[in-house]
Structure 1
Amino acid sequence: MRLGGGLLVVLAVGAAGAGYWVLAGVVLAAIVAVATARLPALGDTPAERWTGGVTRLALVAALAIVFGAYVVPARPAYAAAGLVVVVAAADFAGLKLPAVLTRWLTVVLIAAAVVLIGLCAAVAPVVTAAPIAAPNVAGIVVAALVTLPFLLPVATDRARSRALTLGGLAVLVTVVALVQLGPDRLGLSATSIRDLLYAADAGQLQTLLTVVAVLATVPAALTTVTDARERYAPDKGWVAAAGAVVTLAAVLFVPPYAVLVVAGLGTVLELVLRARRYREARARE
């Protein structure tokens, strides 16, 4: 579910820095996600606990920022903060989404992405294609960095096939967004996916996009904050409370770009720790 919320903002952030080469960044992130899909989960060392917890709290903050920008554009910061408070309270109360509901939400979001791709593919772009500049290596790396956290499958079963599906959808959405909007317009604002609907002659679907934004952010934020608490701060209520306060401060005072970079760097460190655990397990065999 995280990918749905992530794509609403990471493409804009990536295009702002890399231009057309944001596509290379998304492809790179997809390759890394597929290649690392079968690594073991993080363990219980302090480094692994802190890395996993911080990364997931950054993801919650990113999802909350997307919620505020798309659902309550008049007061995005307050809406984002409200979502953090709601999901933290729901987690403390023991609320969990049923697995069947999570699966159906994932199906709905995949269907929404497929519909968006189809709409964009069926309408000729109205923008004049801008020249493709020389590769911006730093921009490509940043685009991959901010996209990667949303491409890693949450579940461990069928991890590689899930990563392939998520990566393929992300690449296709990036392609149609670049064709319809061009990199300048795509990177103009954090809510440029709204412009994508207008470019695809589907402006009447703006209300549906708002609904999709809610479905892509609220459940994912709840499951992510629960995952952070259960896996990295079990039986430590004060740690979970401190994490909620830090996340609340992040959505109010930290730019979306910085939140996404923190999530990306945390994900990279998490993959390094998971790879080390894999090598240690192989060495013991």
Structure 2
Amino acid sequence: MVLAVGAAGAGYWVLAGVVLAAVVAVLVSRLPSLGTGQLDRYTGGVARLAQLVVFAIVFGAYVVPSQSSYAAGALVVLVVAADFAGLRLPAVLVRWLTVVLLVAAAVLVVLCAVVPPVVTFDGVGAPNVPAVVVAALVVLPFLLPSKGERLRAVTLAVVAVLVTVVALVQLGPIRLGLAETSFRDLLYAADAGQLQPLLTVVAVLATVPAALTTFTDARERFAPSGGLPSVAGGVVAAAAAAFAPVYAVLLVAGLATVVELVLRTRLRRYGDVHE
């Protein structure tokens, strides 16, 4: 879905946007975490709430396509309830989920690489620079690892670039840009439609745990004391998941992430000055 938004504006040049986002994600992986000031907490909270909404929208589109909006809103409500109930994912489970998702991405890349594409290559054309920047903006929030995880940043960057390449080769930018569930179309294009049920399972594994950990992080940054502000954030996120267009949510996530990186860079420079 993120690639679809990027490809809709940038065409084949969405790959340049993904590469740009990947490079930025790797370069900033060693920046310090956000501070505890109000601007830092609000920025971190907004960025993560927007990411939560994207995860919920993707969940609804892939898992309950007939009622995707309701499913997306319901997922946010369940995540908020689980967080307030104290549910936390063990670190070992998160690591194993990451491995499973990386294996799934590798399988997808291999399938697309061995099957000749049906789409005819029409030429790249001149780059639409603003569209490339927007593509990088909407991809960036989902490539940033936690502080200091350079290896994870590199891994996510490589996977994102490879998946973008095979998606463009198999579907072309027009079909990719029009596909709300582009990975379903990608499996059909790779002559692997029988793996659709497995894709649904992968979508659940990719979105539900990420939604829970993302909301927990958002609550801790936006409203560390809990209570009404965090409930309000959950309500807004649920409403956005059910009714907001994914393009708008991705822009909010991207812009908030850029502001967060500026704040983190400021903290890095402040620390260097005082050493």
What TM-score does the superposition give when structure 2 sets the normalisation length?
0.99
User: Aligned match of 2:187 in 172, 197, 202?
Assistant: 197
Q: CA deviation at 1:81?
A: 0.6
Q: CA deviation at 1:75?
A: 0.5
**Secondary structure at the counterpart of residue 41 of structure 1:** coil
Number of residues of Structure 1 aligned to a counterpart in Structure 2:
275
Match of 1:276 in 2: 266
Match of 1:81 in 2: 73
Q: CA deviation at 1:228?
A: 1.1
Q: CA deviation at 1:236?
A: 3.0
Q: Unaligned 5+ residue runs, structure 1?
A: 1-8
User: Aligned match of 1:174 in 161, 164, 174?
Assistant: 164
Q: CA deviation at 1:213?
A: 0.4
**Secondary structure at the counterpart of residue 39 of structure 1:** coil
Letter in 2 for 1:112: A
CA displacement 1:50-80 (0-9 Å, x = unmatched): 0000100000000000000010000000000
CA displacement 1:150-203 (0-9 Å, x = unmatched): 00013x34x111111100000000000000110011111221211100110100
CA displacement 1:216-247 (0-9 Å, x = unmatched): 00000000001111233111311110100110
Match of 2:31 in 1: 39
Letter in 2 for 1:61: V
Match of 2:203 in 1: 213
Q: Structure 2 CA distance, aligned partners of 1:227 and 1:176?
A: 32
Q: Unaligned 5+ residue runs, structure 2?
A: none
After TM superposition, the structure 1 = structure 2 runs for residues 220-239 of structure 1, keeping only pairs within 5 Å, are 220-239=210-229
Q: Structure 2 CA distance, aligned partners of 1:276 and 1:120?
A: 42
2:117, 2:189 within 8 Å by CA — same for their partners in 1?
yes
CA displacement 1:105-152 (0-9 Å, x = unmatched): 000000000000000001110111122110010110010000000000
Match of 2:105 in 1: 113
Q: Structure 2 CA distance, aligned partners of 1:177 and 1:232?
A: 36
CA displacement 1:74-95 (0-9 Å, x = unmatched): 0000000110010000001000
**Secondary structure at the counterpart of residue 38 of structure 1:** coil
Across the aligned residues of Structure 1 and Structure 2, the Cα RMSD in angstroms comes to 0.8
Match of 1:187 in 2: 177
State the percentage of identical aligned residues. Answer: 69
User: Aligned match of 1:98 in 90, 95, 112?
Assistant: 90
Q: Structure 2 CA distance, aligned partners of 1:75 and 1:175?
A: 31
2:115, 2:190 within 8 Å by CA — same for their partners in 1?
yes
Q: CA deviation at 1:266?
A: 0.5
Q: CA deviation at 1:277?
A: 0.3
Find runs of 4+ consecutive structure 1 residues off by over 4 angstroms: none
Match of 2:62 in 1: 70
What TM-score does the superposition give when structure 1 sets the normalisation length?
0.95
Letter in 1 for 2:80: A
User: Aligned match of 2:249 in 236, 252, 259?
Assistant: 259
